[in-house]
Amino acid sequence: MSQQNLEIVRSIYELWSKDESVYPDFHVEPERFVDAGEDVAVIGTARGTSASGVEAQWRQGYVWTVRDGRAIRFRWFNDPDEALKAVGLSE
């Protein structure tokens, strides 16, 4: 089941990367997907451009909870280590 959960979360990021129409100047580049049972931690870099044209990038962490083949919960962490801690792991 965990491999299936990883694939579900990977597919979400793949679909987002193909359609950035809502926020064309913001995207997340996942670097690492971590299996944590029904949770999948994702470590990545967010990149974007502000309305004033300032470009920024920062590392973040995300935790997806997947049950019965569906993503049912999403948590966003400004610190990637906090995402890992939320699923009982560390860097």
Write the DSSP assignment of 47-77 as a string of letters.
EEE-TT--EEEEEEEEEEEEETTEEEEEEEE
pTM of the entire predicted model: 0.87
The b/e string for 3-13 (b: 16+ C-beta within 10 A; e otherwise) is eebbeebeebb
70 in a domain, yes or no?
A: yes
**pLDDT for residue 1 is more than 60:** no
Q: How far apart are CA 32 and CA 42, in angstroms?
A: 6
The parent domain of residue 79 ranges over 2-86
pLDDT (tens digit, 9 = 90+) per residue, 38-78? Answer: 999 999 999 998 878 899 999 999 999 999 999 999 999 99
Q: What is the CATH number of the domain that holds 19?
A: 3.10.450.50
